[in-house]
Chains A and B, each alone.
Chain A
Amino acid sequence: MKKILLIVLLLAGCGVGRLLAQVTLQVVSKNVEKTVPWKPGMELIVNGEKADVTVVPTDSAAISVSAELSAKHPSLDTAQTDVNTWQLVVNTVGKKVYIRAYVGVQAGKRAPVSNMRAQIKIKVPRQCAVNLSNRFGKARLEHLDAPVALNGYFCRFDLFALNGELKVESEHGSVDGKELKGPVDIKGKRADVTLQQTAGNCSLQTEYGSVHFYTDTQSGNVRIAAQMTDITLSGLEANSHNYRLKTRFGNLDVPDKFDKSGSTDKARTAIYQVKPESPSIEVETSFGHIKVEK
């Protein structure tokens, strides 16, 4: 009996506490701004963690960085101590400009216990190639003409009006691209990929997740090799592409005008050809569904 009462009291205590639970965080942040000169041919390399990075163009011949580095903790003292572990390094080595935001802990000192977050806004000349890697954050890049290479782990990529070659490797982070004019190469793992208004050739390799590709008359050749990925192709009526689709252990949802005569029990195929010289959309997936819509 006593044991039961004891448990009831404990649960009641936890329950009351839980109902009232709410955490107010003290957010201490520091703002850092740095600018380095840029010359044609120089490349920007960004390395971030727990960072929300925005890269936008500038007309000036310089790369400028504006960062808000913050620490969040219920204790103001702790947050204030931890925010000072944030380091933002900007330096130029040869033809490369490095921007690195990291939490640096000196030997013998405790690691930060606050939630750390960096918001970094970078202005670069349009012709500056960008190589960016980030973990546990976001990255938005827009209006750049030079090649862009991205690598993310739990990083959501939002890409708009990129005119150069684009390479993306993303794990656990969605990739949304719009108005991508150059060739696109995306490798995604557990990453949902959505592409609209692409003008160059696109190559996608994905595992687990989904792909939504909007084609139009400007779209080039599209190659999608996927596993455990559902693929949706939109814009059938707006383009003149040839289609060659195949899924193993998955379903095909295509208009009647597609030729599905080559399907077997394990592999379903659909072919639709407008003109031999038209750009093509080739999709192959396994354990995933393919859908073609207007």
Chain B
Amino acid sequence: MEQNRENLQQAIRQLPEYQPPAGLWDTIAGELDFDQTLEKPLQELPVYTPPADLWDSLAARIEQAPELAPEKGIRPAYKWLVGLVLMALGVWVFLPVAPPVAPASIPTTPAQSAEPIALNNQPQQIRTTQTNNTQKKAVKPTSKPRLAHRTEVVDDALIMACRSAEDPNYDLVETLCKEALPVCEEPQFKQLKAEFDDLTQAHTALKNALGQYADDPDLVSQLIDIEQARDQVLQQLMAMM
């Protein structure tokens, strides 16, 4: 039970009241200038990359959850149907992705005659050109942001290089070291393992940056270099085990 509640409330009621000046909040907001205040801290914000084994651990947890595990066994009558669906899916996945028909709101026009339209004019008209892995600009730069459109055909080899499956041995080192093998505590092994993890982290970051459609030959080349370096380190690790 609170003591002297009435006295306290009476004292609060007797406190003087003040009204702030009318333009106070506007003045404070003006002085803060959020954009400028936040600019420097934003520049200095650290960038974090998730641990390299994040997806593996998530996948392991899903496998351990029986309600999430896929149902086993397919009724014999559906096997052929499933086969056909999978085959169609396989063809669909690897077939060329044809340029979709431009929607009505985005008419494609010849490059020579079309004028680019400012971004803030909706619906947008975009100027279309076709190139074959070239970076030629389709519009002249102006003071307003404008949309331009062109097409690029990505070299099949670049995409395939990025879609190559991970070597299952990559997980083997993790698995074996969880069993507390003595070699895993050796300094040289730890150094190699750190290098391996470093490469794996870089590999993941680069693969994410490349996106689904690897259109940058330089980065794809670096991705392959990293995979080769990782393979070499992995071989050294496996040899030590």
Q: Are A and B associated in one complex? A: yes
Q: Which residues of the other chain, B, contact A83 by a CB distance below 8 angstroms?
A: 147
Other-chain contact of A93, B39, B99, B124, B141 (Cβ < 8 Å): B39
Closest 9 CB pairs of A and B: A17-B94, A13-B87, A14-B90, A13-B90, A74-B97, A136-B209, A22-B96, A115-B211, A6-B83
Question: Chain B 72-106, CB within 8 Å of chain A: the 1/0 string?
Answer: 00000001100110111111111111111011001
* Known A18-B94, A25-B154; contact A91-B141, beta-carbon cutoff 8 A: no
Closest to B153 in A: A24
The reply to whether A45 and B222 contact each other, CB–CB distance below 8 Å, is no
Bound Cα distance A180, B10 (Å): 78
B206 touches A76 (CB 8 A): no
A190 neighbours in B (Cβ, 8 Å) = 202, 229
Whole-angstrom distance from the CB of A6 to the nearest CB of chain B?
A: 4
List the B side residues contacting A91 at CB < 8 Å.
35-36, 39
Whether B106 lies near A80 (C-beta < 8 A) is: yes
Complex: A136 Cα to B151 Cα, angstroms: 22
A 105-154 contacts with B by CB, 8 A: 113-117, 119, 135-136, 138, 153-154
Best-buried of B36, B40, B91, B205 by chain A (most CB within 10 Å): B91
Asked if A6 contacts B206 (CB within 8 A), the reply is no
B142 within 8 A of A: yes
Evaluate whether A23 and B213 lie within 8 angstroms (CB atoms) in the complex, with A17-B92, A17-B93 already known. yes
Q: Which residue of A lies closest to B116 (CB)?
A: A31
Contact A20-B99, Cβ < 8 Å, known A28-B148, A91-B39: no
- A66 to B, closest residue via Cβ: B141
In the assembled complex, which residues on chain B have CB atoms less than 8 Å from the CB atom of A136? 206, 209, 219
List of B residues within 8 angstroms of A181 by Cβ: none
B212 within 8 A of partner (CB): yes
A36 located at the interface, meaning its Cβ lies under 8 Å from any Cβ of chain B in the complex: no
Interface residue from B35, B43, B219 paired with A154 (Cβ < 8 Å): B219
- Given A31-B141, A136-B209: A74 and B100 within 8 A (CB)? yes
Q: B137–A68 contact, CB under 8 A?
A: yes
How far is B83's CA from A221's CA once the two chains are assembled, in angstroms? Answer: 69
The residues of A that contact B126 with a CB separation of less than 8 Å are 28, 80
**In the complex the two chains form, is B43's CB within 8 Å of A26's CB?**
no
- In the complex, the chain B residue whose C-beta lies closest to that of A119 is B135
Most buried by B among A77, A135, A172: A172
Given A24-B99, A29-B150, A80-B147, 19 more A-B residue pairs with CB atoms under 8 Å apart are: A14-B90, A17-B94, A18-B94, A20-B95, A22-B154, A24-B96, A27-B149, A27-B150, A29-B149, A32-B141, A45-B43, A50-B209, A72-B215, A76-B103, A77-B103, A91-B39, A113-B211, A117-B215, A172-B222
Task: Verify if A9 is at the interface (C-beta below 8 Å from B).
Answer: yes
- What is the number of contacts between chain A and chain B, taking CB atoms within 8 Å? 178
Main secondary structure, interface of A, reads strand
Is the beta-carbon distance between A21 and B149 smaller than 8 angstroms? no
Q: With contacts A17-B94, A23-B154 known, is A28 near B147, CB below 8 A?
A: yes
Whether B218 is near chain A, meaning CB under 8 Å from some CB there, is yes
CB distance from B149 to the nearest CB of A (A): 5
For the complex, what is the distance from the CA of A16 to the CA of B93, rounded to whole Å?
11
For the complex, what is the distance from the CA of A74 to the CA of B153, rounded to whole Å?
A: 10
Chain B residues near A54 (CB, 8 Å)? none
Look across to chain A and name the residue whose beta carbon is closest to the beta carbon of B103.
A77
- Chain A residues closer than 8 Å to B43, beta-carbon distance: 45, 47, 98, 100
Question: 8 Å CB contacts to A: which residues of B163-217?
Answer: 202, 205-206, 209-213, 215-216
Asked if B143 CB lies within 8 Å of chain A CBs, one says: yes
Q: Give the complex CA separation of A17 and B199 in angstroms.
A: 32
Evaluate contact between A113 and B83: CB separation under 8 angstroms.
Answer: no
A2 adjacent to chain B (CB < 8 Å):
yes
Residue numbers in A under 8 Å from B141 (CB-CB): 31-33, 66, 68
B159 within 8 Å of A (CB atoms) = yes
- Known contacts A72-B213, A93-B39: does B95 contact A21 (CB below 8 Å)? yes
Contact residues in A for B140 (Cβ distance below 8 Å): 31
Return the chain B residue nearest A69 by Cβ: B145
Subset of 26 A-B contacts with CB under 8 Å: A6-B79, A13-B87, A18-B94, A20-B95, A23-B159, A24-B154, A29-B150, A30-B119, A31-B141, A31-B145, A45-B43, A50-B209, A76-B103, A77-B106, A80-B126, A91-B35, A98-B39, A114-B211, A136-B209, A154-B202, A154-B222, A156-B218, A171-B202, A172-B222, A190-B229, A208-B229
